[in-house]
Amino acid sequence: MFAATIALAKEAGLTAVAVGIETNRQLALARELECVVGQGFLLHGPAAPDRIRLRESSGSVTSAPWRPW
């Protein structure tokens, strides 16, 4: 289902976001499927709204805690 959702987003010209990445296996799968935006406890813990800032990365807007590979 994850692979199909990412493929559908790509086909529609949208950016898929991997939500809830909590294990290295989940992160590896997202990378394998070329999902370039994600969030989850493995990448960054919860943050207060005033501590989050948006930045532009590779043509898309992401939150500061996201670390692109």
**Matching residue, tokens 């994850």:** 2
| One-letter amino acid for residue 24 of the chain | N
- pTM value is 0.64
**Digits of tens for pLDDT over the chain (69 positions)?**
989 999 999 999 998 989 999 999 999 999 999 888 888 888 887 878 777 765 555 555 444 444 444
Give, in degrees to the nearest 5, the angle at Cα 45 between 40 and 47. Answer: 115
The reported pLDDT for the residue numbered 44 is 81
How far is 14 from 63, CA to CA, in rounded Å?
A: 17
The reported pLDDT for the residue numbered 53 is 66
The reported pLDDT for the residue numbered 66 is 47
Which H or E run contains 64? none
How far is 55 from 8, CA to CA, in rounded Å?
A: 25
Count the neighbouring beta carbons within 10 Å of the beta carbon of residue 58: 9
